[in-house]
Amino acid sequence: MSERRTSVTTGAAAPGDGSRPRSRGDGAPSPLRLAVVIDEACARVWEAWGQAATVVGLRVSPAVYEAVALARPKEVQRGYPLMLLGLELVVDAAVGTYEPAVVCA
């Protein structure tokens, strides 16, 4: 299986200064932050589909992987793969927090 990264900038931003979403201050994952990741992932999947690619997974930063794991403790306990948008998540320290990359077949 070959893997290909696709970069798309959608301009999604949190309310406030127009930059990346702010922390809630308590260290907990913010729903707004995950919403930005999901928006970016959707854009990258859409772009890959436009190139007739078959998307089979998403490479995400360790912080995103952990946020999804915290949101889905039962899947983790059962040993199921973590998924987002119906795609298996692959942790990749080289991927930026708000820059998920598609994995194509």
Taking the C-alpha atoms of residue 26 and residue 90, their distance in angstroms, rounded to an integer, is: 26
Tokens 């598609």 map to which residue? 102
- The 10s digit of each residue's pLDDT in 9-55 is 333 333 333 345 555 556 555 556 899 999 999 999 999 999 999 99
In this prediction the pTM is 0.69
Residue among 71, 70, 64 at smallest CA distance from 90: 64
What residues does each domain of the chain span? 31-104
pLDDT of residue 33: 84
pLDDT of residue 8: 36
- The 10s digit of each residue's pLDDT in 17-29 is 334 555 555 655 5
- The 10s digit of each residue's pLDDT in 62-94 is 999 999 999 999 999 999 999 999 999 999 999
Output the CA torsion 23→29→32→38 (10° steps).
Answer: 130
